[in-house]
Chain A
Amino acid sequence: MAEDLAERLLFAVARELEGERRNAVLNLLREVLADLEVIDRLPLEGVEPQAGPPRWP
Chain B
Amino acid sequence: MAVDAAELTVARARAEIESGALSPVELTDAVLERISERNHELNAYLYVDEEGARAQARSAEDAGHAPDLPLRGIPMCVKDIIDVADMPTTAGADHWRRDPATDAASVARLRAAGAVIVGKGNTNEFAYGIDGHNPHWGDACNHHDPERITGGSTSGPATAVAGGLALAGLGTDTGGSLRVPSSLCGVTGFRPSLGSVPLGGVVALAWSFDVAGPIARTAEDCAVLLAVLQGRPVAPPDPSPAGLRIGLLAELLADHSEPHVAEGVERAAETLRAQGAQVVEVRPRDLHLAPAVFRTIQLVEASRAHAKWFNRQRERYAPRVRDLLECGRLLPADAYVAAQQARRLLVDEIADTVREHRLDALLAPATPVTAPRRDAATVTIGDREVPVRAALLSMTAPVSLLGGPAAAVPAGTHEGMPFGAQIAARPGAEATVLRIATALQGADAG
Q: Measuring CB to CB, which residues of chain A are less than 8 angstroms from any residue of chain B?
A: 1, 5, 9, 12-13, 16-17, 20-21, 24-25, 28-29, 32, 34-36, 38-40, 42-44, 47-57
Contact = CB atoms under 8 A, between A and B. Distances in A.
B324 A56 contact: no
Contacts of A54: 194, 343-344, 347, 401-403, 427
B338 A1 contact: yes
B353 to A, nearest CB: 11
Contacts of B337: 49
A24 B323 CA distance: 7
Most central of B195, B208, B292, B351 by chain A CB within 10 Å? B292
Given A32-B299, A39-B289, A17 B326 contact: yes
A35 B295 contact: yes
A5 B426 contact: no
Nearest to A9: B330
B338 A50 contact: no
Contact of A28 (B291, B323, B334): B323
A40 B338 contact: yes
Interface string B296-324: 10010000000000000000000100111
B2 to A, nearest CB: 47
A25 B293 CA distance: 19
A51 B301 CA distance: 13
B340 interface: yes
B345 A13 contact: no
A32 B340 contact: no
Contacts of B341: 42, 44, 47-50
Nearest to A55: B427
B4 interface: no
A50 B343 contact: yes
Interface string B388-402: 000000000000011
Contacts of B296: 32, 35-36, 39
Contacts of B335: 1, 5, 36, 39
B339 A39 contact: yes
A56 B351 contact: yes
Contacts of A43: 345
A1 B299 CA distance: 18
B295 A32 contact: yes
B432 interface: no
20 contacts: A1-B334, A9-B331, A13-B330, A21-B319, A21-B322, A32-B331, A35-B295, A40-B338, A42-B341, A44-B338, A47-B341, A47-B342, A50-B347, A51-B340, A53-B195, A53-B403, A54-B347, A54-B427, A56-B347, A57-B351
A44 B401 CA distance: 17
A48 B194 contact: no
B207 to A, nearest CB: 9
Given A5-B334, A36-B335, A38-B289, 19 more contacts: A5-B332, A12-B330, A25-B326, A25-B327, A28-B327, A32-B331, A34-B292, A36-B292, A38-B292, A42-B342, A43-B345, A44-B342, A50-B343, A51-B340, A53-B427, A54-B402, A54-B427, A56-B426, A57-B351
Contacts of B444: none
A29 B330 contact: yes
Contacts of B319: 20-21, 24
A4 to B, nearest CB: 10
Contacts of A53: 193-195, 403, 427
B327 A29 contact: yes
Contacts of B340: 49-51
10 closest pairs, A vs B, by CB? A49-B340, A35-B292, A54-B403, A53-B194, A50-B344, A50-B343, A56-B351, A44-B341, A47-B341, A54-B347
Interface in B265-299: 286, 289, 291-293, 295-296, 299
B348 interface: yes
B344 A47 contact: yes
Contacts of A36: 292, 296, 335, 338
Contacts of B402: 54
A48 B295 CA distance: 19
Contacts of B194: 53-54
A38 to B, nearest CB: 5
Contacts of A56: 347, 351, 354, 403-404, 426-427
Residue of A21, A29, A36, A57 ringed by the most chain B CB atoms within 10 A? A36
Nearest to B403: A54
A13 B343 CA distance: 27
Interface in B151-199: 193-195
A42 to B, nearest CB: 5
